Copies of this chain bind each other. A is one copy, B any other.
Amino acid sequence: MARVSTARLDDTFRLLEERLATISDVYSAASVLAWDRQTYMPEGGVVGRAEQLATLARLAHEMLVSPKTGELLEHAGGREPGSDEAALLRLARREYERASRLPARLVAETSRVTALAEPAWIQARDESDWSLFAPHMERVLTLKQEEASYLDGEHPYDAMLDRYDPGSSTHRLRSMFRELKAGIVPLVRDISTKLGEDRTAPLRGCFDEAAQEAFGRDVISSFGYDWGKGRQDRAVHPFCVNFGAPGDVRITTRFDPRLLPVGLFGTCHEAGHALYEQGVDPSYSRTPLAGGVSMGVHESQSRLWENLVARSRPFWSHFYPRLRDAFPGVSGDIETFYRAVNAVRPSEIRTEADELTYDLHVLLRFELEVDLFENGLSVADLPEAWNAKMEEYLGIVPENDALGVLQDTHWAIGYFGYFPSYSVGNVLSVQLFEAAVEGRPEILPEMERGQFGTLLGWLRENVYCHGKKYEPDDLIERATGRPPETGPYLRYLESKFGELYGFVDEV
């Protein structure tokens, strides 16, 4: 009897896995279409592509929320606690619960509206004309607010956060940002009095795009990015994308011929995401366990490779001579260059911000999004509110909306609630990097030789391979021995920038 019943459970579980694999395939197909839209699709494809994406979103949603899925989930039974199967069921049930509350009409409409909003955003940014984007923003926001109304949460914005960081909340983020603000704002203020001459001169000039691409490829090849399982293309707004499996994880990059960091650190950032995805256990492919566990943890990896690695002294002690070979126009000693890539300089664009002021850009977006979801702020008033907060936190007012409220793609594609992940990622990046170095002290000397195998190995073993198996907090505690905390990050900032701007000597 017991054997029969186990066999039946196994059959049900297998049917469930098949169904989830089908749904995963449809989402992956949609990701290919989205990648294509942002890299190669001609203008004439915009309307048709919006329909295709809406259809795929609707079909995947319908399959996910169908009574058949519910039935399989109900009868797939309990699995051994701690097993992959148990985690798969937990995740599938959560997805099912969440999706079941959303009407298919809303899902398809959101997909269609965002697919049209994105090209409109590109045009609006090109022409720095908010009015071209505002009606799209209104439509997207209305749909996301409707979505929030169907979902749980103490705060209407919680439903947005939960999608990117399961377990996150407005309350929790307010507390995190309070700590970050308390640590970072005084530091920025102190440094502002000591800015002196612009340290970023070595990063400005004329940098051949092909040479930039080649150098970036060398760097991320040394990180361990596997070109047989990925590729790099150009996009207006860089991103990393995968298709439900670690065998095809692509990055995109934007190069600025006059400003080296845009392409270089952008490449390292997206490669960090990609290393994570390429490192997920391949047996999780086409299941709910595939992919990074949360956007907070994901950004911890993009920021770790971008900042803890590629903005570090050990990294440049190996790569600076190579950079000078690649760009004969670059001159000066390594210390000057190191100070350049770590120059603090309040600026308009988040993706180009230095490590220290970066979180203030995120804080600004977090507060604006909370206001939008509390209906305390209207889309019409957004540019003004943006500029006011820029002045408050960074002491500058963007010259125009392209350099201000229009700079990011997130709202166009409906990614409300995503921005805080960047700061969560910053916080976790240091906690994870310090745990890695503590466990494997050879990581730093290896970095000086341009070798990153031990670091990548530690991250694969402790973070990447697990995919979505553990909850984010649980994963961090398993990897570092402690729950997520801002302490290590703030101490790191204080130490690094204290040294760079002469505090350490003075104290």
B229 and A44 contacting across the interface, CB-CB below 8 Å? yes
Inside 8 A of A190's CB, which chain B residues have their CB? none
Task: Report the bound CA distance from A227 to B45 in whole Å.
Answer: 11
- Out of B44, B49, B55, B58, name the residue touching A228 (CB < 8 Å): B44
A binding-site residues for B, Cβ under 8 Å: 21-22, 25-26, 28-30, 32-33, 36, 40-49, 51-52, 54-56, 58-59, 226-231, 233, 243-248, 250, 285-286
Question: B26, B248, B250: which contacts A59 (Cβ < 8 A)?
Answer: B26
User: In the complex, which residue of chain B has the Cβ closest to the Cβ of A35?
Assistant: B36
Give the chain B neighbours of A226 by CB distance below 8 A: 44
The complex is assembled from copies of this chain, and their number is 2
Which residues of the partner chain B approach A49 to less than 8 Å between Cβ atoms?
243, 248
* Residue contact A47 to B231, C-beta cutoff 8 Å: no
Q: Is the CB of B36 within 8 A of A52?
A: no
For A226, the closest partner residue in chain B by CB is B44
Inter-subunit contact A40/B245 (CB<8 Å): no
Chain B residue at minimal CB-CB distance from A26: B55
Q: Tell me the complex Cα distance, A248–B244, Å.
A: 26
- The 5 A-B pairs of least Cβ separation, nearest first, read A45-B248, A44-B247, A44-B229, A25-B55, A48-B245
A41–B51 Cα distance when bound, in Å, is 23
- Decide: A29 and B44 in contact? CB cutoff 8 A: no
- A248 touches which one: B32, B48, B229, B250 (CB < 8 A)? B48
Q: Tell me whether B56 and A25 are in contact (CB under 8 A).
A: yes
Minimum distance in angstroms from A493 CB to a CB of chain B: 37
Q: Is the CB of A25 within 8 A of B44?
A: no
Q: How far apart are the CA atoms of A45 and B247 in the complex, in Å?
A: 5
Assess the A230–B42 pair: CB atoms within 8 A: yes
Complex: how many Å from CA A180 to CA B161? 68
With contacts A32-B32, A42-B230, A286-B51 taken as known, whether A26 is within 8 angstroms of B248 at the C-beta atoms is no
Q: In the complex, what residues of B have CB within 8 A of residue A43's CB?
A: 228-229
Contact status of A247 and B55, CB under 8 A, knowing A32-B32, A43-B228, A228-B42? no
Q: Are A231 and B48 in contact (CB under 8 A)?
A: no
Alpha-carbon distance A245/B49, docked complex (angstroms): 10
Taking CB atoms, residues of chain B closer than 8 Å to A51 are 21, 25, 286
**B contact residues around A247 at 8 Å (CB):** 42, 44-48
State the Cβ distance, A209 to closest chain B Cβ, in Å. 16
Inter-subunit contact A48/B244 (CB<8 Å): yes
Residues of B within 8 A of A230 (CB): 42, 44
The smallest beta-carbon distance between A44 and chain B, in angstroms, is 3
Report Cα–Cα, A223/B228, bound state, in Å: 38
Kindly provide the distance from the CB of A62 to the nearest chain B CB, expressed in whole angstroms: 10
The contact of A40 among B44, B48, B56, B231, by CB within 8 Å, is: B231
What is the bound-complex CA distance between A243 and B36, given in angstroms?
13
- Docked pose: A285 CA to B52 CA in angstroms: 12
Q: Give chain B residues whose Cβ lies under 8 Å from the Cβ of A45.
A: 229, 243, 245, 247-248
Determine if B227 and A42 form an interchain contact, defined as CB atoms under 8 angstroms apart.
yes
A244 to B47, CA, bound (A): 11
Distance A43 CA – B231 CA, assembled complex (angstroms): 10
Min Cβ gap A36→B in Å is 6
Given contacts A45-B248, A48-B248, A59-B59, 13 further A-B contacts (CB under 8 A): A25-B55, A26-B55, A26-B56, A29-B32, A29-B52, A29-B55, A40-B231, A42-B229, A42-B247, A42-B248, A44-B226, A44-B229, A52-B243
Name 26 A/B residue pairs within 8 A (Cβ), A-sorted: A21-B55, A22-B58, A25-B51, A25-B54, A25-B55, A26-B59, A29-B29, A29-B52, A29-B55, A32-B32, A32-B33, A32-B36, A36-B36, A40-B40, A42-B250, A43-B228, A44-B226, A44-B228, A44-B246, A45-B229, A45-B247, A45-B248, A48-B243, A48-B245, A48-B247, A51-B286
Report the bound CA distance from A419 to B226 in whole Å.
39
A40–B251 Cα distance when bound, in Å, is: 13
**What is the distance, in angstroms, from A65's C-beta to the closest C-beta of chain B?**
16
Residues of B within 8 A of A231 (CB): 40, 42
Residues of chain B contacted by A44 (CB below 8 angstroms) = 226, 228-230, 246-248
Kindly list chain B residues whose C-beta atoms are within 8 Å of the C-beta of A54: 25
A273 CB, min distance to chain B CBs, angstroms: 16
Q: Which of B29, B36, B47, B246 contacts A56 (CB 8 A)?
A: B29
- A30 contacts across to B, CB distance below 8 A: 29
Which residues of chain B have C-beta atoms less than 8 A from A250's C-beta?
Answer: 42
Expressed in whole angstroms, the Cα–Cα distance for A248 and B227 within the complex equals 28
Bound-state Cα–Cα, A30 to B226, Å: 26
A41 CB contacts on chain B under 8 angstroms: 248
Residues of B within 8 A of A48 (CB): 28, 243-245, 247-248, 285-286
For residue A243, which residues in chain B have a CB less than 8 angstroms away from its CB? 45, 48-49, 52
Chain B, residue nearest A59 (CB): B59
